């Protein structure tokens, strides 16, 4: 197998986690401005996209992915990174109704008004679905908690409060163009919540996060993830760490738990899966982009890592988008 050599020089900030977040992006799929009269309870099914909720008027309750009730106040914002099943309700115990059964009216592209027709005290929510530009099995996504709440991260991230205030102003006034502005604010707020989680130590996260913070190995991991299509030989990675090939390989394996070659291959195949399923890229194009001489050699490597042929994910992605 031959890899295409990359001549570009990777510019890094000196902090591996910052470098990783630099490439993190959230792409909004759809958003809803929800006006719900009590009593109400909305069930959100599990999905691949992340879920975002902002409480604009009248507090409510969340039945979290951890199966516990959490009270939410006006101005609260929360992110469910892996799109786990959950319920928002005016009070615990109200029978939930799937979101698809509410009255949903399009406002503009990807933005909807959602209502339930009840005359009780009104709760105002702004909800959204967002896709990460990372593969679903990326270590950063896997290590995120089931639920992130903005107010728990605000102490060390004053910018969050400004974003919450801006969202509160837009969602309650319902001005012309407010839906589009709210969608953009939601994208920025969700990304800020994730950044604050990382900067606050990622909770009690260990493993991959700890490896990213390792002064020797962290910059190597960030480089691999930022440029998965590059010809990452053990020699090139060792030079980046400033060590001999053998010393680097030993250090990498002791911190990460697998050899550099195996880790690089896994990252490349996860990136390939994203190109196939999300972007609809042809298998032959994906193979060429990763530097493989033939589609067959790429397919063998892909199946060895992912357990199925690459065509499986391309077909699955096409069905989801149809």
DSSP of 222-237, one letter per residue?
HHHHH-TTS---HHHH
Phi, psi (degrees; rounded to nearest 5) at 237: -70, -35
DSSP three-state, residue 57 = strand
**pLDDT score of 205:** 53
Does a cis peptide bond (omega within 30 degrees of 0) precede residue 39?
yes
Q: What is the mean pLDDT of each run of 10 residues along the chain (322 residues)?
A: 38 60 71 92 92 92 96 92 94 94 84 86 91 71 84 74 84 74 84 78 62 82 87 93 93 89 92 87 94 94 92 63 42
What is the model's pLDDT at position 184?
Answer: 84
As given in the structure block, the two tokens for residue 295 are: 């589609």
Mind listing the pLDDT tens digit for each residue in 78-130? 999 989 999 999 999 999 999 989 989 887 777 888 988 888 899 999 999 98
Angle between helices 159-173 and 178-199 (to 10 degrees): 160
Backbone angles phi, psi at 209, to 5 degrees: -60, -45
- How many Å is the maximal CA-CA distance in the chain? 71
Tell the residue number behind the tokens 């070659």, with chain if given.
261
User: How many CB atoms within 10 Å of residue 203?
Assistant: 13
Please name every residue paired with 50 in a beta bridge, in sequence order, or none if there are none: 130
What three-state secondary structure class fits 155? helix
pTM: 0.71
Contact (CB, 8 A) for 65 and 80? yes
Per-residue model confidence (pLDDT) at position 20: 65
Bin 9: left if φ > 0, else alpha if -120 < ψ < 50, else beta.
Answer: beta
The pLDDT of residue 79: 93
- Rounded distance, CA 149 to CA 95, Å? 24
Q: Which residue has the tokens 């394996």?
A: 253
Strands laid side by side in the 77-80 sheet: 103-108, 111-115, 26-37, 122-132, 50-57, 77-80, 148-149
**pLDDT score at 318:** 45
Domains of the chain: residue spans and CATH: 25-200 (2.60.120.10), 205-313 (1.10.10.60)
Bridge pairing between strands 97-98 and 41-44: parallel
CA distance 66 to 222: 31
DSSP 62-118: EE-TTS-EEEE-TT-EEEETT---EEEESSTTPPPEEGGGSEEEEEETTEEEEE---
């Amino acid at each position: 197998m031959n890899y295409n050599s990359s001549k570009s020089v990777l510019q890094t900030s000196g902090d591996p986690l910052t470098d990783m977040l630099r490439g993190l992006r959230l792409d909004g799929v759809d958003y809803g401005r929800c006006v719900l009269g009590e009593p109400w309870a909305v069930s959100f099914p599990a999905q691949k996209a992340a879920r975002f909720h902002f409480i604009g008027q009248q507090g409510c309750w969340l039945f979290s992915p951890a199966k516990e009730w959490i009270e939410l106040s006006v101005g609260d914002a929360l992110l469910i990174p892996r799109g786990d099943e959950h319920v928002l309700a005016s009070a615990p115990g109200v029978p939930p109704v799937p979101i698809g059964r509410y009255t949903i009216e399009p406002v503009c592209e990807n933005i909807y008004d959602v209502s339930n027709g009840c005359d009780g005290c009104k709760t105002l929510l702004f909800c959204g679905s967002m896709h990460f530009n990372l593969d679903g099995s990326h270590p950063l996504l896997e290590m995120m908690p089931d639920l992130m709440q903005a107010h728990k991260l605000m102490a060390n991230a004053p910018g969050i409060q400004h974003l919450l205030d801006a969202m509160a102003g837009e969602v309650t006034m319902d001005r012309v163009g407010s839906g589009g502005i709210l969608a953009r604010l939601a994208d920025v707020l969700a990304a800020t919540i994730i950044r604050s989680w990382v900067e606050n130590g990622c909770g009690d996260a260990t493993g991959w996060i700890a490896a990213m913070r390792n002064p020797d190995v962290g910059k190597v991991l960030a480089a691999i993830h930022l440029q998965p299509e590059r010809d990452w030989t053990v020699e090139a990675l060792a030079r980046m760490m400033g060590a001999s090939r053998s010393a680097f390989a030993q250090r990498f394996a002791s911190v990460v738990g697998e050899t550099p070659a195996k880790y690089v291959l896994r990252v490349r195949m996860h990136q390939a899966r994203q190109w196939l399923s999300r972007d609809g890229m042809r298998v032959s194009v994906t193979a060429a982009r990763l530097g493989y001489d033939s589609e067959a050699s790429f397919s063998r490597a892909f199946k060895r890592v992912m357990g199925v042929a690459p065509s499986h994910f391309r077909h699955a992605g096409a069905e989801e988008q149809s």
